Structure 1
Amino acid sequence: MRKLDLYIGTTVLWSIVAVLLVITGLAVLFAFIDQLGDLEGGYTLKEALIYVALTTPRRLYDVLPMSALIGCLVGLGSLASSSELTVMRAAGVSLTRIVWAVMKPLLLLMALGLVIAEYVAPWSEVQAQARRSLIQAEGKTQSSKHGMWHRQGHEYIHINSVQPDGRLIGVTRYEFDDERQLVRSSFAREARFVDDGQWLLKRVAATRLFERHSEVEQLAEERWNIALTPRLLNTVVMEPDALPISGLWSYGRYLADQGLSAGRYWLAFWEKLLQPVVTGVLVLMAISFIFGPLRSVTLGQRLFTGVVVGFVFRIVQDLLGPASLVFGFAPLVAVLVPAAVCAVIGLWLLRRAG
């Protein structure tokens, strides 16, 4: 029985890996084509290739659930087409054992996905974003394409680029009074985090606004007291779906402490945390299809079904996620509802097949 489990698991696992490489390759190709529109100045074709290469781990992680669904349909479907599953069932192998044989190697793939999401993809994404932002925002007081905005108290801040070493490039600050009147604006070429918990701004050009006049000042250095550490800033500058689970948790709590909306970050947190569950549910549904409506169809029909189901699932997720932010229900619900529906369908079909 152990050899049988190994045979089933290996067949399905290699099919999933093959599909994962194909879908990731397509995602990388489309990303590269998208970057061609941003080629200007120092951002050359070589830099675009480097950026796409560095963002590949995130893209691989994003397509893992769909790849697992389609790969399981292909791998297990090949066993069904050659009547091997029929022979196994006739020999007394239970449906539960076949499901477990498929799920065992998938657990390894899920664990690898979590490692990529928590450690590999965030690091490479920081490198990619920092490199591109530094090149495209060079010499500009404020980059309209890249960088990030942040608010703390009465101060609005734009940062062109956050480097992996914690150094900030191009810091624009707008300070308002209690009546929401602009009282000071400034631009610093660079900022570094110093030991006393403050930032040291360098080469600062500032303008103070008064009721009837303004004053311009040039400063070599200026202290800046703000509750943002380099670690938090590396979180702020990234899109939520590119952040690690721990970063989403810490930044979500930071935004809550500041009285700011953290819905997007909690939604991304639950999506990443529950992705192994979602992947397992999609594979369960794929298994139920093989023993149910897709038992005797062609490989092309199985591929088509997998793509359609995967896209429908992703569309429902993408609709429920923003809906939770607009209508105010818990992001956890938006993540669990599609998975729960798929689990019910899969278990119902397996029960009929059993």
Structure 2
Amino acid sequence: MNTVRRLIFRSVISHVGFVILAFSALFFFIDFVEELQDVGRHQYRLVDALWTCLLLQGAHFYDLFPIALLIGSILALARMAQTSEFTILRTGGLGPGRALGLLGVLGVSAAMIMVFVGNWYVPWSEAQLALHRAKFSSRQGLNLGHGGTWLRERREVPGSGFHNITVNVGAANSQGEFAHVRIFEFDAQGRLIRRIAAEKVHVEALGNATARGSIWHMENVLDTRWTSHDMVGEQAVLEGSKIIAETRPLTMDWQSSLTPLVVSASVLPPETMSTAALWRYTQHLATNAQAAQRYEIEFWKKTFYPLVCMVMVALALPFAYLHARSGGMSLKIFGGIMLGISFVLINHISSHLGLLHQWQPWLAAAAPSAIYLLLSMSAFVWLVRYR
């Protein structure tokens, strides 16, 4: 049995490794040609373009690995079927259940690789890529668009009830370093009572990175307060309400429940966040009555994404039971590859459909995997029984 295991594992792993290497080389070349257009601008050098392409490989590997696993498994099993190796193994006692178990071990191993890449390597590489590109941008820091990114929290003030705090971050300079920050404080009746604008902010966690709180060290602060609780904003200006505006060229500390992880999560796209970061950020959004469905869908999608490897090897297993003498082997392999690519496309589209039609997040993330796994197992059972 060890000999059979080594034979199948060696064949599948070598073919999968060759396919992922070919895909990585292709995408590295495409990214490098695209990055060459920016060489020479804003002191962007050739070595910087190479480093950018290397950082991009993390996200490419995460997206392409299931497809490479499918193609490599199909090629390996189809070759064994074509040379009658798999037929000899079946004659020697390799039953369908044992064959499914052997490929299941490969699927679980591939799923563990996906968990590591998706939760550690991809978030790190995407964060490094964003900061690396920000150094050569015409605008200092990572530009978050015209509106920036918005955060919200509730704070209990003794004698005044709960105050709502809205924070706008305009740019990110590095991990925990942000620029063009505006903070708006509203009282329990929804009236604006304070506005803080800072050119640069460093967010420091209280305790550890997951602590429920942080201190914002702000520089070049403009602190504006409205002393009248009856009139705010333009009404206060028109009717003569007293406004206190104080410019602080030095630092100012502001305590908040927004941790550096929450702020960083709001800056980067949800696709680049780890599962734990997505869970914490969705809890923060739900607590502050903000729309969290997009991040919930991404959380469940990333949770179920390692199971895609199980679906891929399940889709490849029926090809071991096909016979080259029946004809059309190349067409069957091509059909299997297209089936796997269709699964990846549907898996990506389902999250957008779930967000559009307000589906349950876990259902939108798990439905494609469940459907294709059922189809692959049905095809496997039919081939074993009737072929």
Shorter chain as normaliser: what TM range?
A: 0.7 to 0.9
For residue 374 of structure 2, what is the aligned residue in structure 1? Answer: 344
- 1:13-35 per-position Cα deviation (integer Å, ceiling 9, x unaligned): 21112212222333334444554
- 1:129-177 per-position Cα deviation (integer Å, ceiling 9, x unaligned): 223224426547x83559950221452412411523x3x1313315375
For residue 171 of structure 1, what is the aligned residue in structure 2? Answer: 180
Report the Cα distance in structure 2 between the residues aligned to 1:161 and 1:333, rounded to whole angstroms: 34
- Counterpart pick for 1:201 among 202, 218, 225: 218
- 1:292-317 per-position Cα deviation (integer Å, ceiling 9, x unaligned): 59885677545533442232112212
SS in 2 for 1:349: helix
Deviation at 1:280, TM superposition (A): 0.5
Corresponding position: 1:310 with 2:335: no
Corresponding position: 1:227 with 2:227: no
Report the Cα distance in structure 2 between the residues aligned to 1:163 and 1:285, rounded to whole angstroms: 43
Report the Cα distance in structure 1 between the residues aligned to 2:151 and 2:65, rounded to whole angstroms: 35
Report the Cα distance in structure 1 between the residues aligned to 2:327 and 2:20, rounded to whole angstroms: 23
Q: How does 1:154-193 map to 2 (within 5 A)?
A: 154-161=165-172, 163-164=174-175, 166=176, 168-173=177-182, 175=184, 184=195, 186-193=197-204
Q: Structure 1 residues 271 and 324 mapped into 2: Cα distance closer, same or farther (>3 Å)?
A: same
Deviation at 1:3, TM superposition (A): 0.5
Report the Cα distance in structure 2 between the residues aligned to 1:158 and 1:295, rounded to whole angstroms: 64
Q: Structure 1 residues 261 and 319 mapped into 2: Cα distance closer, same or farther (>3 Å)?
A: same
For residue 66 of structure 1, what is the aligned residue in structure 2? Answer: 67
Are the aligned partners of 1:73 and 1:287 in contact in 2 as well (CA < 8 Å)? yes
Query: What letter is aligned with 2:14?
Result: W
For residue 16 of structure 1, what is the aligned residue in structure 2? Answer: 16
| Deviating more after overlay: 13-22 vs 180-189 | 180-189
Report the Cα distance in structure 1 between the residues aligned to 2:65 and 2:74, rounded to whole angstroms: 14
Report the Cα distance in structure 2 between the residues aligned to 1:27 and 1:180, rounded to whole angstroms: 52
Unaligned runs of 5+ in 2: 153-163, 207-212, 226-232
Report the Cα distance in structure 1 between the residues aligned to 2:167 and 2:371, rounded to whole angstroms: 43
Q: How many percent of aligned residue pairs carry the same amino acid?
A: 22
SS in 2 for 1:198: strand
For residue 217 of structure 1, what is the aligned residue in structure 2? Answer: 247
Deviation at 1:267, TM superposition (A): 1.6
- 1:224-249 per-position Cα deviation (integer Å, ceiling 9, x unaligned): 33322122223222221211111111
What TM-score does the superposition give when structure 1 sets the normalisation length?
Answer: 0.85
Number of residue equivalences: 351
Corresponding position: 1:238 with 2:238: no
For residue 81 of structure 1, what is the aligned residue in structure 2? Answer: 82
Q: Structure 1 residues 33 and 205 mapped into 2: Cα distance closer, same or farther (>3 Å)?
A: farther
Deviation at 1:200, TM superposition (A): 1.0
Are the aligned partners of 1:134 and 1:160 in contact in 2 as well (CA < 8 Å)? no
Unaligned runs of 5+ in 1: none
Report the Cα distance in structure 2 between the residues aligned to 1:29 and 1:150, rounded to whole angstroms: 37
Measured on the aligned residues, the alpha-carbon RMSD in Å equals: 3.2
Are the aligned partners of 1:169 and 1:191 in contact in 2 as well (CA < 8 Å)? yes
Q: Structure 1 residues 297 and 104 mapped into 2: Cα distance closer, same or farther (>3 Å)?
A: farther
Report the Cα distance in structure 1 between the residues aligned to 2:269 and 2:326, rounded to whole angstroms: 43
SS in 2 for 1:63: helix
Deviation at 1:321, TM superposition (A): 0.6
- 1:155-207 per-position Cα deviation (integer Å, ceiling 9, x unaligned): 2412411523x3x1313315375668797462413424275832110123567
Report the Cα distance in structure 2 between the residues aligned to 1:332 and 1:108, rounded to whole angstroms: 24
For residue 51 of structure 1, what is the aligned residue in structure 2? Answer: 52
- 1:8-58 per-position Cα deviation (integer Å, ceiling 9, x unaligned): 121112111221222233333444455456664244443333223123223
Q: Structure 1 residues 307 and 29 mapped into 2: Cα distance closer, same or farther (>3 Å)?
A: farther
Are the aligned partners of 1:205 and 1:218 in contact in 2 as well (CA < 8 Å)? yes
For residue 4 of structure 2, what is the aligned residue in structure 1? Answer: 4
Are the aligned partners of 1:134 and 1:161 in contact in 2 as well (CA < 8 Å)? no
| Deviating more after overlay: 280-289 vs 142-151 | 142-151
Corresponding position: 1:151 with 2:160: no
SS in 1 for 2:306: helix
What TM-score does the superposition give when structure 2 sets the normalisation length?
Answer: 0.79
Are the aligned partners of 1:65 and 1:275 in contact in 2 as well (CA < 8 Å)? no
Q: Structure 1 residues 127 and 175 mapped into 2: Cα distance closer, same or farther (>3 Å)?
A: same
For residue 90 of structure 1, what is the aligned residue in structure 2? Answer: 91
Q: Structure 1 residues 291 and 148 mapped into 2: Cα distance closer, same or farther (>3 Å)?
A: farther
- 1:71-104 per-position Cα deviation (integer Å, ceiling 9, x unaligned): 1111111111111112222334212222222232
Q: Structure 1 residues 109 and 343 mapped into 2: Cα distance closer, same or farther (>3 Å)?
A: closer
Report the Cα distance in structure 2 between the residues aligned to 1:218 and 1:335, rounded to whole angstroms: 49
Query: What letter is aligned with 1:20?
Result: I
Report the Cα distance in structure 1 between the residues aligned to 2:377 and 2:107, rounded to whole angstroms: 18
Q: Structure 1 residues 239 and 105 mapped into 2: Cα distance closer, same or farther (>3 Å)?
A: same
SS in 2 for 1:136: coil
> Which structure has the larger Rg over C-alpha atoms?
2
